[in-house]
Structure 1
Amino acid sequence: MTRSPFFAAVISLLLATLAVAEIKSITISDDFRPLILLQTFGFTQTGHVTISVSSSSSQDSSRTGFYLVEQESVLQVDIELQQNSSFCVLDSHYVHHFDQSYQVTSPGLYSLFFANCGPGAKVSMKFQTEMYNLDPNGLKYYLPAGSTQLPGLFLVFSLCYLTFLGLWVYLCYNKKQRIHILIAALLLTKGLSLICAAEVKQYVKTTGIPHGWNIPFYVFQFLGNVLLFMVIVLVGTGWSILKPKLQEKEKKLLMLVIPFEVISTIASVVIGETGPYVQNWSLWTEIFLFAEVSCWVAMRLVIVCWMCIL
């Protein structure tokens, strides 16, 4: 069953913060989906979309094409498709159908789709999408509208984490409890992950691609999440404060949380490095959400049980 464009756009919005590039090289092989969500982007009145097709093959190229639709109109397009199964979305008056480039003059959040109106027709394509806004000086900004301040914001928060790290080390210098070392490691990894995130967003803002900074970002993000869950569980169960050793059920919980975080990190890498145009992309988003929710639920259950025992 084909997912609706509205559902795909909602999933894309929920996980937009995981995207690490706004210039994407996309390959579609023998794809028969009638609608493929390629990208979601926030445009100003100086927004541009450019598509460079390097190779293309389809049974009926006259019934295929790219179109841009405002997020507010995605549901209306979906209703049109549901009312008439033979309706081609390229004929909708809610969409902006274009060939190679399109200039956005009305600011807002837009979704870029590829439509294949040929029944059962398979399409194979290689192309590159480029979405950006222009600043007052005419320079390209590849971050969506409202996100251009993220590099500086991430840098400020990273400095806050590193400041807290220095203060924590100073206050706990004479403390020998292992929980203090874990908290220091947590502050360090969080600070480093935000520095990497700032570099990713800065490079994406000016060039459209992260230039390799996404790799250490994922590494520090994984380490930071694992340490966060460990610290919350250990402090919540009184480890090193009320009792020197962990019980078996607490050890099992920690061994359960780590695999879930590994799964969550792998899913976030797939989501961030590809896009909704991948056929199993929605499955990866569901895996990511399931792993994250499972970690938090397991952590809360242990803490609540320990509080009940106290």
Structure 2
Amino acid sequence: MEIFNFFPLRHHHMLQVSYALLIISCIPFAISDINDKHIVEDSREIIPFQKFGFLEDGHTLISIKDISWKSKAHKAQLNLNSMGFYIFKMSFLGPILKEAIRNKHSCVLSSKYVQVLSTFEKLTTNSSAYNVSTTVDEPDEYILSFVNCKADLFEVSMNVHTEMYNLKHGEKEFLSAGKTNLPILYFLLFLIYTSFFVIWVFTCIKQRPITEKIHTIMGALLLFKMLSMISAFEYYMYVRKTGTPHGWDIAFYVFGLFKSVLLFTVIVLIGTGWCFLKPHLQVREKKVLMVVMPLQVVENIAYVILREKGLTTKEWSFLCFTWKRTLLLVDVVCCCAIFFPIIWSMINLREASKTDGKAARNLEKLKLFKQFYMVLVGYLYFTRVAVPEINYRLNYRYEWVGNATEECVSLAFYVFIFYNFKPIERNPYLVIDEEEEKAAGQFLEDGTLI
């Protein structure tokens, strides 16, 4: 049986498996666990709907209406048992794919690794709708899918309403088991960033004579980070209780966009030394900003498309391959681009220290920029490499731990930036003795900081 027939992979079994795993890896983007999907003349063999982590009292509800199919071959005979909905454990994905490769003509509905929820055999005469409700007996992470084992002969059209939830104290929880702690996590982060923002505003007011434009932009970054945290809290809270975000997803995406753009902008501006080392940006530094800011907009658009576009759409294979690659490429370009201003500033400080006779003062600044460079490398590596690896290895019940880890690292990065580049009065008449000046100059000549 051909599990995913978006591309002609019939004769390349390892490519089939790899492609199927890639498609499944995109499933976590579906957050809302009440879904309404309209499928029109779809000839895919497998249509994945969503992934969900069930606890001891898990339930699945499927409502199908306006079911119809169109034959692609003259006088083709349809077996209604060859079309239906099923769920299977994520851990069984490998065995299911191996079964399909060994027996290309088998139907996944006959596999021992799946739990069949319903087939079109339940359709009665002159009926094009039915409902099915199922209790999940074994707690685990499951995938809900539809299969058309006669996809080479028939195209299917239908409207599908699905609900997946756990019962806790008699109430429905529509968030997957590993995400139930996300509302409280984001609410705590909202309180932390609100306090952070208030302290920053107070500091800027207190140091108003030496507060620069960069400090105002940093304050705006904290504001949008705070708003994105409260939006995330409301988003996951509504999904947890009702299964849909009630519009909070829009606020979540908008504030997230501004937060991402401002974060990279602040990093670039600090890296250039704007307002700290010089009052104006050079042409090459402006070009970096002109590249990074639009790319951040593109990256956030790609993120929203991947998160919101359901797996049931025919274009999902295209979206998964193109937008996910776009997301990765744009992120890599942005991460590389923001290092250039920091390196330029470090080189300029090093060269200036050799000519202006202020090696010790420039050495102090150089050390700070070196620390900023190293912390930035660690932050980007951890959030782009370590966090996905942690998420991959976590049990489905502790999926929230990955989010908490990433946010804690982000908070530490924010604290470092705002503490080290806060508006403080620096003494321009710092007295340096000859031995300190000589040691600083020698340190710079050795090039150990670059």
Could you state the TM-score of these two structures normalised by the residue count of structure 1?
A: 0.92
Aligned to 2:44: 33
Bigger mean CA deviation after superposition, 39-48 or 97-106: 97-106
Query: Shift of the alpha carbon at 1:308?
Result: 4.5
Give the counterpart of 2:244 among 209, 212, 218.
209
Aligned positions of 1:1-310 closer than 5 A: 1=7, 4-12=19-27, 16=28, 18-58=29-69, 59=71, 60=78, 61-99=80-118, 100-120=132-152, 121-135=154-168, 137-173=169-205, 174=208, 175-281=210-316, 282=320, 283-310=322-349
Listed one character per residue, the Cα deviations across residues 74-102 of structure 1 (whole Å, up to 9, x for unaligned) are 11111222222222111111111112222
Does the 8 A contact of 1:5 with 1:37 survive in 2?
A: no
Tell which has more relative contact order, 1 or 2 (C-alpha 8 A, sep 6+).
1
Listed one character per residue, the Cα deviations across residues 39-70 of structure 1 (whole Å, up to 9, x for unaligned) are 01111011111111122112434311111111
**What's the secondary structure of 2:312's corresponding residue?**
coil
Listed one character per residue, the Cα deviations across residues 199-253 of structure 1 (whole Å, up to 9, x for unaligned) are 0111100000011111111110000000000001111221111111112222122
| C-alpha distance in structure 2 between counterparts of 1:32 and 1:302, whole Å | 51
Listed one character per residue, the Cα deviations across residues 144-190 of structure 1 (whole Å, up to 9, x for unaligned) are 10211211110110111111111111122213311100110000000
Does the 8 A contact of 2:61 with 2:163 survive in 1?
A: yes
Bigger mean CA deviation after superposition, 82-91 or 147-156: 82-91
Unaligned runs of 5+ in 1: none
Does the 8 A contact of 2:265 with 2:293 survive in 1?
A: no
**What's the secondary structure of 1:74's corresponding residue?**
helix
Unaligned runs of 5+ in 2: 1-6, 10-15, 72-77, 119-131, 350-450
- Between the two proteins, what is the percent identity of the paired residues? 40
**What's the secondary structure of 1:48's corresponding residue?**
strand
Does the 8 A contact of 1:8 with 1:37 survive in 2?
A: no
| C-alpha distance in structure 2 between counterparts of 1:53 and 1:260, whole Å | 41
Does the 8 A contact of 1:141 with 1:205 survive in 2?
A: yes
Instruction: Name the amino acid aligned to 1:69.
Output: F
Aligned to 2:371: none
Higher normalized strand content (fraction of residues): 1
Aligned to 2:425: none
Instruction: Name the amino acid aligned to 1:75.
Output: G
Does the 8 A contact of 1:49 with 1:102 survive in 2?
A: yes
Listed one character per residue, the Cα deviations across residues 125-152 of structure 1 (whole Å, up to 9, x for unaligned) are 21111110000x2110000102112111
Query: Shift of the alpha carbon at 1:263?
Result: 1.7
Report which of the two structures shows the higher radius of gyration computed on alpha carbons: 2
**What's the secondary structure of 1:231's corresponding residue?**
helix
Does the 8 A contact of 2:227 with 2:255 survive in 1?
A: yes
* Pairwise CA RMSD: 1.8
Does the 8 A contact of 1:152 with 1:198 survive in 2?
A: yes
